[in-house]
Amino acid sequence: MGNTSPTTTLFSDVRALVEATRQRVALSVNAELTQLYWQIGPRINTELHQSGGTE
């Protein structure tokens, strides 16, 4: 391990866990937002066609 203290190792490990979790959360949020947009698009399209277009 060399000159690395247990506290430094612990900090590095916790930091890596937090970063990995942030990345997973970002991927999950992006996937959910994409699903949301795919649901909103057809609803707007249907409403525009039913109302005769934009006002």
- The predicted-structure confidence for 35-48, as pLDDT tens digits, reads as follows 999 999 999 999 99
pLDDT value of position 20: 98
Contacts within 8 Å (CB) and 24+ apart, 7-16 = none
With beta carbons less than 8 A apart as the criterion, state whether 21 and 15 touch: no
pTM listed for this prediction = 0.67
Q: What residues in the chain have per-residue pLDDT under 70?
A: 1-2, 53-55
pLDDT value of position 7: 94
